[in-house]
Amino acid sequence: MRSLSRLLAFLESLCSKLPIDEDDVALIFEDLHLGRSVVPPHVVPARPTLLRWDPAKPLTLENCVVFEFAEAEKHVKECLIPRSVEAQRKTPRDVWGDEVQAVVGRHAAEVAKYREWVGL
């Protein structure tokens, strides 16, 4: 019985848990992005996908954005998947431009206001 407890504890430690929960997802999707993609013309996605914006930063409310599925595939391919030395990974600003980067920055500022308001 004791070894079973150890095994369960070990397996639980291996499970990766996201640093955001379903309430955070709702905040990101509904309140920050208003159910729209971060990429202009900010369509209402048929298949919304939440992704980390900057791979160099941890997954947080400030670093998670909404994409349409096709946009998400492009973001993963260009920004998130490690590449060889010859073909360096691009930054999100390089792929999506200054306008989208500004939108992400505004959303991060909104999260900061929210955290201050809630006392986090």
Task: Report pLDDT digits (tens) over 3-44.
Answer: 667 666 666 665 657 889 899 999 999 999 999 999 999 999
On whether the pTM is more than 0.85, the answer is: no
Per the CB < 8 A criterion, the answer to whether 63 and 49 are in contact is no
Q: Write the CA distances from 26 to 19, 21, 77, 94, 104, integer angstroms.
A: 14, 9, 25, 28, 17
pLDDT value at residue 84: 61
Local confidence band at 2 (pLDDT 50, 70, 90 cut-offs): low
- What number is the average pLDDT over the span 86-115? 92
Query: Is the pLDDT reported for residue 51 higher than 80?
Result: yes
Per the CB < 8 A criterion, the answer to whether 80 and 57 are in contact is no
Nearest to 61 by CA among 99, 23, 103, 94: 23
pLDDT > 70: what percent of the chain? 82
The sign of the dihedral angle between the CA atoms of 108, 119, 34, 52 is positive
